[in-house]
Structure 1
Amino acid sequence: MTGLLATLGDTGSGHSSHAHVVATLGRQIVGGTFPPGAILPGDKDLGETFGVSRTVLREAMKTLAAKRLIEAKTRVGTKVLERERWNLLDPDVLRWRVETGLDARFIEDLATMRLAFEPEAAALACRRATAADIERLMGIVEEMGDLGHDRTSIARVDLKFHLVVADISQNPFMRATSGLIETALAIVLRLSSPADDADMIRECADNHRLIVEAIASKDEERARATMRTVIELGATRTQGALGEG
Structure 2
Amino acid sequence: MTIPVARPLSRNPDARARGENRREDATLDEIGAGIVSRGAPGHARVARALGTGIVAGRFPEGEVLPGEAALLTRFGVSRTVLREAVKTLSGKGMLEARTRVGTRVRERAAWNLFDRDVLAWYLDAGIDGRFLRDLAEIRLAIEPAAAALAAMRRMPPDIARLEACVAAMRDAPGLDPAFASADLAFHLALADASGNVFMHSVGAVTEAALDVVFRMSRPTDPHAHDASWRAHAAIAAAIRAGDPAAAARATEFVVRDGLRNGAAAVEAAGAAPYPCADPPCARENPT
Change beyond 3 A, Cα 1:224–1:13: closer
Q: Secondary structure at the match of 1:145?
A: helix
Of the structure 1 ranges 83-92 and 219-228, higher mean CA displacement relative to structure 2 is found in 83-92
Q: Does 1:210 align with 2:234?
A: yes
Contact 2:174 / 2:218 at 8 angstroms: preserved in 1?
A: no
**Helix, strand or coil for the counterpart of 1:202?**
helix
Give, in whole Å, the separation in 2 of the partners of 1:8 and 1:242. Answer: 23
Q: CA deviation at 1:225?
A: 0.6
**Could you say which residue in structure 2 is the equivalent of 1:179?**
204
Aligned partner of 1:152 among 161, 177, 182: 177
**Shift in Å, 1:74:** 0.6
Report if aligned partners of 2:46, 2:82 keep a CA contact under 8 Å in 1. Answer: yes
Paired residues in the alignment total 244
Q: What is the TM-score normalised by the length of structure 2? A: 0.79
**Kept in 2: contact 1:147–1:198 (CA 8 A):** no
Match of 2:151 among 126, 132, 135: 126
Aligned twin of 1:197: 221
For residues 8 and 223 of structure 1, do their structure 2 counterparts lie closer, same or farther at Cα, with a shift above 3 Å needed? closer
The code of the aligned residue for 2:244 comes to E
Q: Render the CA deviation track for 1:7-57: whole Å, top value 9, x for unaligned.
A: 345442445611111111111111122211221122232223222222211
Between 15-24 and 55-64, report the one with greater CA deviation.
15-24
Query: Which residue identity lines up with residue 6 of structure 1 in the other structure?
Result: D
Q: Output the TM-score relative to the length of structure 1.
A: 0.92
Moved over 6 A (4+): none
* Equivalent-residue separation in structure 2 for 1:211 and 1:78 (angstroms): 48
For structure 2, the residue ranges without an aligned partner over 5 or more in a row are 1-23, 270-287
Q: Quick one: which of 11, 27, 37 aligns to 1:4?
A: 27
What do you get for the CA RMSD once the two structures are aligned?
1.8
Alpha-carbon shift at residue 145 of structure 1 (Å): 0.5
**In proportion to residue count, which structure has more helix?**
1
Q: CA deviation at 1:124?
A: 1.0
Question: Does the CA-based 8 Å contact 1:28-1:34 persist in structure 2?
Answer: yes
Take 2:141 and 2:32, find their aligned partners in 1: how far apart are those partners? 41
Gaps of 5+ in 1: none
- Identity score, percent: 43
Aligned pairs for 1:22-171 within 5 A: 22-171=47-196
